[in-house]
Amino acid sequence: MQVSKWGNSLAIRLPQSVVEALQLKEGDEIEISVAGARDFVVDRDRRRERALEILRNSNWKFPAGWKFDREAANQREDGQGIEDGRGVEDGHSHRSSPPRRRRRAG
């Protein structure tokens, strides 16, 4: 594989055999781990799948009458975008407490 410049980053093209073995398609997330001084391992990023499985198995239920409203979820205090991600009940956005600040993991 050849390392190429891609914007400010470096990129590699995965051989078709790797793509087929991992059943990858455009847009999939992958994990690359260092396996030795000059070796690495490529695998599918399964964090999202594991998180969804945990949620499915948690038996958590939405409140009665709750429905997701993308516009309300993406609305910020200043009216410009996402802030608290709350849902909508009976077609009306509800904000009973100040919005929580989101922190990025990393």
- Tell me which residue of 55, 45, 101 sits closest to 76, measured CA to CA: 101
Task: Give tens-digit pLDDT for 23-52.
Answer: 888 988 888 889 888 888 888 888 888 888
Residue 100 maps to a domain? no
CATH of the domain at 28: 2.10.260.10
pTM passes above 0.75: no
pLDDT computed for residue 102 by the predictor: 56
Identify the domain containing residue 63 by its residue range.
Answer: 58-90
Residue 81 maps to a domain? yes
Task: Identify whether residues 16 and 45 lie together within a single domain.
Answer: yes
Based on its alpha-carbon atoms, the radius of gyration of the chain, rounded to whole angstroms, reads: 21
Task: Give tens-digit pLDDT for 11-23.
Answer: 988 889 989 998 8
Task: Give tens-digit pLDDT for 64-96.
Answer: 888 888 888 888 766 554 444 444 444 555 555
| H or E stretch at 41 | strand 40-44
Task: Identify whether residues 38 and 74 lie together within a single domain.
Answer: no
CA atoms within 13 A on the CB side of 15: 5
Q: What angle do CA 80, 82, 83 make, to 5 degrees?
A: 105
